[in-house]
Amino acid sequence: MLDTVQELNLIAANPSVRGGRPYIIGTTVTVSDVIIAKLYHDQDSDGIASWYNLTLSQVYAALTHYYVFKDEIDQQIRRQIKRATAVKEQRLGNQSSILSR
């Protein structure tokens, strides 16, 4: 008897959507969004599903996708953090100091 391979098609990547980062189909939530919530904000799967209005299947699909493509997604997360830090520093550097008034 042959095994039947079944696949869940819940994750997609498209260069014109979310900068090409893998995302959960039918949402704007990226795999890296789910991973950041899990690893950096210590959210459990139920919390992530609730926060992003996802099903548990969608959350688990994102987690599975992460572990299959961990190195690539870790690089995406590092780039996101780097960009966010640069924007934050730029905004803080552009604010007038209260002491200069």
**Which tokens go with 6?**
């079944």
Residue 100 pLDDT: 47
Pick out the chain residues at pLDDT < 70. Answer: 1, 4-7, 93-101
61 sits in the region (left: phi over 0; alpha: psi -120 to 50; else beta) called alpha
Backbone φ, ψ for residue 44 (5° rounding): -85, 175
> What is the DSSP code (8-state) at residue 11?
E
The answer for residues whose C-beta is within 8 angstroms of residue 51's C-beta and 6 or more apart is 37, 43
Residue 7 pLDDT: 66
Residue 99 pLDDT: 47
Q: What is the pTM of this model?
A: 0.79
CATH architecture of 11-100: Orthogonal Bundle (1.10)
Residue 87 pLDDT: 86
